[in-house]
Amino acid sequence: MGYQDLEFANDSVFLITGAAGFIGSNLVEAVLDLGYEVRGIDNFSNGRKENIEEFINNENFNFIEGDIRDYKTCLKAAEGVDYILHQAALGSVPRSMREPLIYEDNNIKGTSNMMEAARQNNVKKFVYASSSSVYGDSKELPKEEGKEGQVLSPYALTKSVKEEYAKLYTKSYDLECIGLRYFNVFGRRQDPFSEYAAVIPKFIKILKDGNQVEIYGDGEQSRDFTYIENVIEANLKACLADSKAAGEAFNIAYGERFTINKVYDLMCEKLEIEREPIYAPERPGDIKHSLADISKAEELLNYDPDWDFKSGFAEAIKWYKENI
């Protein structure tokens, strides 16, 4: 259980892309806490400098301000690296519906650049962020790897293409790639200020500012919300996984679901606020229900998540109370 007791070779070097982002900065912190060398790269298009301020003076942390869309930058960043945790990407389904071309450039070209840089530098494992959005219009619950539907957004399409590249690089170039299909990750450092902020930090900020939350649809859409600690565990265990996991993608979640209405009610309770939400039309590209079957990750990655939604949610609320 957990990841605090995981061991790598003493001289292991990790490259974390998107290091100043929500998930990336948490991975930086976790790997540094384990005592290994971390190289981080970010262009601050999504990431925030304050997310990595506390690590800058750590002798085991080396930060590169750079863009993964530039192959030479990727090639240099991957020199001497054992493991790459590739988190850099543009998120947000709604934004991808409005600006599809920048998703192609960032998420697909950026990832293929990073994979090729990993191949050229003989990296041991390339672990990358995929998404539950690849299940598209599939109505089957729980979501199971190999039973995907048609994708519903450019964002989801870029994640699906990433997975195809990963299969190719694993089979044709012997680069061991492992995809992690994140299900609605939340926790400390998740940006509440962006126009495209995720639902939990966005709602918290709106409520704390004294405003009414807008919920799209009837609020009965459900999600398998996944606390950040579970995602850290999955990334690090993927680095140690047997070669038979290479080329595969895995659901990373807890395996339980909550409606948006339920999350909102819990949030109001934790913040001690009574305020009715406003309901708005559904958004194009959104998936109605999400619940993960995590048995494949349990079997091949030894994934064993400690944090259910309510325990993670309590920690997240505590962090946001102190930091926004």
How confident is the model over 174-185, as pLDDT tens digits?
999 999 999 999
Residue from 36, 83, 155, 320 carrying the catalytic annotation:
155
What is the tens place of the pLDDT at every residue in 78-94? 999 999 999 999 988 88
- As a whole number, the mean pLDDT across the chain is 95
pLDDT computed for residue 284 by the predictor? 81
Give just the sign of the alpha carbon dihedral 133, 137, 141, 147: negative
Confidence of residue 1 (pLDDT cuts 50, 70, 90): low
What is the tens place of the pLDDT at every residue in 253-304? 999 999 999 999 999 999 999 999 999 999 887 778 899 999 999 999 999 9
Domains located in the chain, CATH noted: 13-187+226-255+287-307 (3.40.50.720)
Q: Is 71 a catalytic residue?
A: no
Mean of pLDDT values over 128-156:
95
Q: Cβ(250)–Cβ(234) under 8 Å?
A: yes
Percent of the chain with pLDDT over 70: 99
Alpha-helical regions (H) of 142-227: 154-173, 199-208
Compute the distance between CA of residue 197 and CA of residue 185 in angstroms, rounded to an integer.
Answer: 12
What is the tens place of the pLDDT at every residue in 47-76? 999 999 999 999 999 999 999 999 999 999
